[in-house]
Amino acid sequence: MAEKTFRVVGTSVTRKDAPLKARGEALYADDIRLPLMLHARVKRADVGHARILRIDTSKAEALPGVKAVVVGEEAPIPYGIVPQMPTEYALAYKKVRYHGEPVAAVAAVDPDTAEKALDLIEVEYEPLPVYTDPKEAMAPDAVKIHEESPFPANIAYQAEQEFGDVDRAFAESHYVLEKTFRTSYVNHAFLEPHSAVAKFDTNGELTIWSGTQVPHYLHRTLSKVLEMPMQKIHVKVPKVGGGFGGKGEVSNNELIAALLARKAGRPVKLTYSRKEVFLQHRGRHPIEIRMKIGVDRDGYIQALEYDGTMDGGAYGGWGVVILFYTAAMLHLPYKVKNVRFRGRRVYTNKPTCGAMRGLGGVQPRFAMESLLDQIAIDLGMSPYEIKKKNAIDQTHETVSGVYVRHSEYKQCIDKVVENSGYLEKHRKLPFGRGVGLAGGYYISGTAYTLYMSYKPHSTATVRVDTEAGVTVYCGATDIGQGSDMVLGMMAAEKLGLPFDQIHVVSGDTTLAPFDLGSFASRVTVAAGTAVCQACDRVLEKIFSVAAVQLGCRAQQLAVADGEIYSVFEPHKKRMGFWEAVERYIDANGPLVASGEFTPPRRTGKFKGANIGHSPTYGFTAQVAEVEVDTETGEIRVVNYWEAGDCGQAINPQSVEGQVEGSIVMGMGQALFEQVRVAEDGRLLNPNLHDYKVPTAADLPQIRTHIVDSYDPDSPFGAKESGEGPIQPVIPAILNAIYDAIGVRFTEMPVTPEKVLEALERRKSERS
């Protein structure tokens, strides 16, 4: 195990932007005000599926105060977060595919004028059948939502994977359990709505401010859709009020703002309402999952089979990637020798699903952890026993070739069971109260096959001088998770300086070098590796000068507490860090170095190949304790325990916050959240009044524990902590409900009405 004695890493330093956010001084995209700025509004389709026959914007253009109107024909180039499969347009082009899709946009001198102009735009449609159910959309006679799709009916993509001899393993299993699970259509519900401000200068260069998770990808998409050179586009990310994956794609408001700004010749702001946030969506895919698990007499998993139908909504988005992630997520954190996966993603006439915290893993984890819980009980053993004996060891390679170089999952299970008293409570509490156990994991530092041709995936530049101090330039974007803090702490540790002497510049495509973006828990490992490498190269340069000054070899120098010293004669041979910097700059000029990171590529000869492979993985185990009111059906999560393997915690307080956020978000999906859709495709609850999310009154007592862990091949031993902890939440809560009232729910959310109905049905069956 590598050295773990750190001065900055492992301490709970305060984020530099925390006071600004607390005082309301932080600048978000909607706070930006520019001279002569116009306000944009969007005309949205009032049909769920139709061909566009005619759009007449003449009356809107004639309205005083209107400066520009754009329609889909002015931006006919498709785009998509998966470059090989572009399916979307800035505005609906020739066809509308969901109720509320943008068909035209207006820029005016004030919001009221823009709103009035929308009513003056006339759109004529040829209606087409609306499909809100994947089964209807897959019918042989269904009208294609995307005519160019090569798959049957409205299947966007389908795939199969098989490893081992699945049929034989099931035939030889002592016990086989199969159930169907249904997950819900949920939204991220981040506080800050999508907002973008676009401005063209007199040289024809575009600057856009947006709360995006992927500034460099937005940069490329703007270049493609607007047919502009990338060198003339500048993307800047202010503070981001939450993303969770929902801002991990290009949003159409960003493209519309740029189109209007170019046409009007003035800056344009387009901020979405909460309803429009729901229409932009990109939330978690609802999946109907049929899962089967076979075990031997001792409870060891022999085979697993998955068949899933994903409701993808109207466009491609992250869909194909998430489809294969559901496949990859079946293999861990347990040893599974024989696996069969069949999956398909289906187009429907609903707002598009995409990446959401723990993408690809939450739905199959719900099914697998629920089945393992029931299998253990049916075999007369503890769920803890079955999960512990099947848990992977510290290193593991799945039958699909996924290599885990470091895991402390077994330690996580043991610690959370100990801390919660699970063994003393399970099946022993009074009726109406129960506990549930579940585990999970997530990738850390990965990328996707679709980006493998672009290297490196993360880059960082470090500049050191006595005027600005240390400045870290990195394209990774802080979306509220604290990546600027983490990268700054790493740089401070490497350079032997206090954290407050490090400045991090991120989220600016002009200043910061390329990074894929903030998604899939990749930043700490990927960007962190690049920053550490850049700092090492800075030290090589400084040490070459300090060695001459101190009369020793550069290889024997180290740095700490603002001083460079010889490890052999630390009291005799030492000099100030900044003195050495000045001497270097005087002799050589600017002190700058860069670092980069591209994850190692492992792949297999099967569909999905590289998707799911990651340099390292974080692990988590969780126990929920619930109370069920058998008279009202109300479920309260009263206590919650988590034990996580995030490697070395760079900032323990921040890790705790990430874990708690995952638990609350997962709890919402388990018990409250569901976007409801009418038969014609209209959203019925696109607001935070009718779309229920947990409030402070719903929160349980949460106790988190960081297990002793260190991945020696990661920067400072760190792994992810922000997405893995959401995976076990839903099954932990639903397993606890089963323990409390003896009812196994296989569909979320579990509402009071469903509880009362299930209890009544159970009572009737027994009488």
Range with the lowest mean pLDDT among 47-61, 453-467, 717-731, 749-763? 453-467
pLDDT, position 542: 98
pLDDT, position 85: 87
Q: Please give the average per-residue pLDDT across 428-457, as a whole number.
A: 84
Residues of the chain above pLDDT 90, percent: 94
- Secondary-structure class of domain 287-392+408-448+605-766 per CATH: alpha beta
- pLDDT tier, 82 (very low <50, low <70, confident <90, very high otherwise): confident
- Give the whole-angstrom CA distance, residue 444 versus residue 706: 17
| Contact partners, residue 664, CB within 8 Å, separation at least 6 | 694, 699
- β-pair type (268-271, 233-236): unpaired
How does pLDDT run across 588-600, given as a tens digit for each residue?
999 999 999 998 8
Q: Please give the average per-residue pLDDT across 158-162, as a whole number.
A: 96
Q: Please give the average per-residue pLDDT across 655-677, as a whole number.
A: 98
- pLDDT tier, 1 (very low <50, low <70, confident <90, very high otherwise): very low
pLDDT, position 450: 53
pLDDT, position 762: 87
pLDDT, position 453: 54
Could you tell me if 347 and 329 are in contact, meaning their C-beta atoms sit under 8 angstroms apart? Answer: no
pLDDT reading at 454 higher than 80:
no
Report residue 713 as tokens: 């091949």
- Give the whole-angstrom CA distance, residue 491 versus residue 9: 10
Q: Please give the average per-residue pLDDT across 730-740, as a whole number.
A: 98
- Give the whole-angstrom CA distance, residue 384 versus residue 274: 42
**Which three-class secondary structure state does DSSP give residue 701?**
strand
pLDDT, position 133: 98
Q: Please give the average per-residue pLDDT across 523-534, as a whole number.
A: 97
Q: Please give the average per-residue pLDDT across 374-384, as a whole number.
A: 98
Could you tell me if 253 and 272 are in contact, meaning their C-beta atoms sit under 8 angstroms apart? Answer: yes
Instruction: Tell the CATH superfamily of the 36-128+194-271 domain.
Output: Aldehyde oxidase/xanthine dehydrogenase, a/b hammerhead (3.90.1170.50)
441 forms beta bridges with 619
- Give the whole-angstrom CA distance, residue 367 versus residue 748: 11
Q: Please give the average per-residue pLDDT across 266-274, as a whole number.
A: 98
C-alpha neighbours within 13 Å on the C-beta side of residue 319: 32
Q: Is 301 exposed, middle or buried (0-12, 13-18, 19+ CB in 10 A)?
A: buried
- pLDDT tier, 280 (very low <50, low <70, confident <90, very high otherwise): very high
Domain with CATH 3.30.365.10 in the chain: 287-392+408-448+605-766, 456-597
Q: Please give the average per-residue pLDDT across 87-115, as a whole number.
A: 98
Mean confidence (pLDDT) of the chain: 96
**207, 374, 405: which is closest to 292 by C-alpha?**
374
- Secondary-structure class of domain 456-597 per CATH: alpha beta
Domain with CATH 3.90.1170.50 in the chain: 36-128+194-271
- Give the whole-angstrom CA distance, residue 407 versus residue 619: 7
pLDDT, position 381: 97
Could you tell me if 616 and 490 are in contact, meaning their C-beta atoms sit under 8 angstroms apart? Answer: no
